[in-house]
Amino acid sequence: MSRDTTEAFKERQRAAWNDRGIGWNKRAEEMAEMARRLNEPLLELVGIAQGQRVLDLASGAGEPALTIAEMVGETGHVTATDLAEGMLAGAKRRAADRRTGNIGFEIADAESLPFPDAGFDRVTCRFGLMFFPDKPKALRECLRVLKPGGRAGFMVWGPLADNAVFQINMAAVLEVMGPQDETFLEMPFILGQPGTLVGLLEQVGFAAVEEQVIQARRKAPGDQPFWRTNLDMSFGKLWMEASAAEREAVEAAVVRRLQEYREGDHYRLPVHVRYAAGTKAA
């Protein structure tokens, strides 16, 4: 990919995530408990502790940056970054609401981080690496800004087929509203195959790479429109500005597709998340 093409692609990404920022900000609090459960394996693999300086990439509406800020305490500090200012707006609001004083915010491209060498004890990235056009370059930047012995950890979605809410919502939107930008719809899942994430970390020089996997069937209520959260966050303005008729038709298509996962008064929906962390050699 040429530089011009890469920069144009990043601008498209920035615009797409700014569109989604409203939905992420709107839904951040109700997603907090799920975020906590998903964060725990990542933060354990990385080894977050009191007093650390932590860089969080693709922070979105604030996770795991806000959780990390609590963990590192007053003697530590978190720098939360994102390519899209519209996404980071939610993180800033939530930090202000909590009066979190040990966190800062930067609009930053993960492939060209505006930070000096060896300035951070830890680097984290939750559901962001999949979207970086040059993933090895971004990972080498993580190595550059880490102190020797520092550790970086990454969380990605498993394959689309193993993440039912995404798969169902995507199919319903495409059925009712026609073709969308498939690039951005497919990107969340491109690192989902076993060994892919670990291989990338080892390729760029991370040592002591570890992997962890969550693959389960999540219980969801059968009498509540829980899928709307994912629609808001995945489709942004497209969904929130859709007509009443379009929204009704999409939701009907969602409910129809959900029936194969019905178990009595609830659904059991597959979810697959992969984690990997590695260390910068001393």
Which pLDDT band holds residue 1 (cuts at 50, 70, 90)?
Answer: low
- pLDDT digits over 195-205, tens only? 999 999 999 99
What pLDDT digit, counting tens, does each position of 124-166 carry? 999 999 999 999 999 999 999 999 999 999 999 999 999 999 9
Tell me the pLDDT of the chain averaged across its residues.
93
Read off the pLDDT of residues 235-278 as tens digits, 9 standing for 90 and up: 888 888 899 999 999 999 999 999 999 999 999 999 999 999 99
Q: What is the pLDDT of residue 25?
A: 77
Query: According to the model, what pLDDT value does residue 183 have?
Result: 66
pLDDT for 10: 87
Structure confidence by residue, pLDDT tens digits, 176-188: 998 877 666 789 9
List CB contacts of 96: < 8 A, sequence separation 6 or more: none
Q: What SS3 class is residue 251?
A: helix
Structure tokens at 236: 């942004």
Nearest in space to 168 (alpha carbons), one of 242, 93, 89, 228 = 228
Say yes or no: domain 3-160+186-217+272-279 is CATH 3.40.50.150. yes
